[in-house]
Amino acid sequence: MNLAFADRDFYYGDPDFAPEEPVKGLLSKEYALARAKLINWDKNDPEARPGDPYPFQGGANPFLKHLEAWTNLPKGPRQNNQTSSARSRRLHGGTTSIQATTKKGGWCR
């Protein structure tokens, strides 16, 4: 899940606005197989990073400098003497929703 969430956090956006997401690469079986090789079957990996799906759709990643700088660590010192749990809630309190449809019109979220 962490690998998928890292890709989601880095690449998913509103398809009505630039830049266009690398959808073909993200959905390719070859990319999925490459990402599956990174799974640590013994423990969760909270440091999972986004991958690079662009080569899997025949392109070059225009965001390589951002991808290389990606970190899962919080940025900067604590502010306003907040406790770690309060800071965590502030940083990670949002929600995300993804919907998908099948060729037959079924959907899930």
Asked whether residue 42 is assigned to any structural domain, the reply reads: yes
**C-beta separation of 70 from 62 below 8 A:** no
Asked whether residue 93 is assigned to any structural domain, the reply reads: no
pLDDT score recorded for residue 94: 54
Give the residue from 73, 66, 92, 94 showing the smallest Cα distance to 10: 66
Q: Is the pLDDT confidence value at 83 over 70? A: no
Q: What are residue 100's DSSP bridge partners?
A: 108
User: What CATH number did the domain enclosing 51 receive?
Assistant: 1.10.246.130
Least confident of 1-5, 32-36, 59-63, 73-77: 73-77
Q: Which domain holds residue 7?
A: 1-74
- The total domain count for the chain is 1
Asked whether residue 99 is assigned to any structural domain, the reply reads: no
**C-beta separation of 39 from 3 below 8 A:** yes
Q: What percent of the chain has pLDDT over 70?
A: 69
Asked whether residue 29 is assigned to any structural domain, the reply reads: yes
pTM above 0.85, yes or no: no
Asked whether residue 52 is assigned to any structural domain, the reply reads: yes
Asked whether residue 3 is assigned to any structural domain, the reply reads: yes
